[in-house]
Amino acid sequence: MKNQPEIMFESAFAEDTFKGLTSNPKYLLSKYIYDKNGDKLFQQIMDMPEYYLTSSEFNILELNAEDIVVSFTSSNGIDLIELGAGDGKKTKILLKKLVEKGHTFDYLPIDISQNVLDELKLSLEKEIPEAKVRVQQGTYFKTLEKLSEYNSRKKVILVLGSNIGNLSHKEAVDFLEHIARAMSKEDMLFMGFDQKKHPQKILDAYNDPAGITEKFNKNLLVRINSELQGNFDPNKFLHWETYDPETGTAKSFLVSKEEQKVNIEKLDLKISFEAWETIHTEISQKYDDSVVEWLADEAGLIVEKSFADKENSYKNYIFRRK
């Protein structure tokens, strides 16, 4: 029997889409939601009253900016490296405080979306012209390989917005291990973790009545149609959110409302859906101090300090290498 010819994919998006939709159960990777349209939808999500994560972290940074910046600084300056920088609205609070206090720093925002980085660079040139900015497009793990190259002075690695919540615990330990390996004893990691809380508050954050989160998740189907010549009908899928308070795991799904077939021309792929069959699109993990400390210990880090918002619903932690 002849071996099957190896499929050649034109992009990582194409390959990951093929893998996800030919798996059982089906899934799509949430990082691909973030094209130009996905970026705009996420900006709208962050402005929703139900999406408490943004306002909670803003609250922490505004209340504690001076203490946080004191923890960051070093006599010969710092490299402030942000993974998943997004629009940088929250980071600007810290950048302004660093400038105000006369600290020397370079800001290196990293994001998978070049569109977001271009907008961030323009806004920083207008709002904080004193900041030295070097943007870099790429995924977390590709970036982490280069982090250890920044070794001439203290590195402060920022991961805001509870981006770690998009990873399973196993993936989170792996992610933190990669960061730890790139850190010297002097370096630090400043990272946001959404905390466990009333389950309904969590469900409301990912299942808003305006349907913005639904459009955000369905942007995966829109992007497949646009870039891979698919023929998904997003209206034939229901957006569904679940939350397990025991594990702290919120999951997002697109659920097929009927039996249907979808064709994706560029992948030469025909997919059948049963009625009520799911595509898993997102995970949003919630934490408490004991879980964060366990993750850190597994990855070779220690928690040095934490900052909480007024309602104790969100925390930013400072980590160092063991």
CA gap 137, 312 in Å, rounded: 33
Question: What was the pLDDT predicted at 291?
Answer: 97
Question: What was the pLDDT predicted at 238?
Answer: 97
Number of neighbouring beta carbons within 10 Å of residue 229:
12
Question: What was the pLDDT predicted at 219?
Answer: 98
Question: Which segments of the chain have a pLDDT < 50?
Answer: 1-2, 4
CATH class of 52-197+287-321: alpha beta
Question: What was the pLDDT predicted at 87?
Answer: 85
Beta bridge partners of 223: none
Question: What was the pLDDT predicted at 147?
Answer: 74
Predicted TM-score (pTM) of the model is 0.88
3-state SS of 123-165 is: HHHHHCCCCEECCEECCHHHHHHHHCCCCCCEEEEEECCCHHH
Question: What was the pLDDT predicted at 285?
Answer: 97
Question: What was the pLDDT predicted at 121?
Answer: 93
Pairing of strands 269-273, 260-264: antiparallel
Three-class SS state of 15:
helix
Question: What was the pLDDT predicted at 4?
Answer: 46
Q: Where are the domains of the chain?
A: 12-48+200-285, 52-197+287-321
Three-class SS state of 258:
coil
Question: What was the pLDDT predicted at 6?
Answer: 64
- Asked if 255 and 240 touch (Cβ cutoff 8 Å), the reply is yes
Question: What was the pLDDT predicted at 231?
Answer: 97
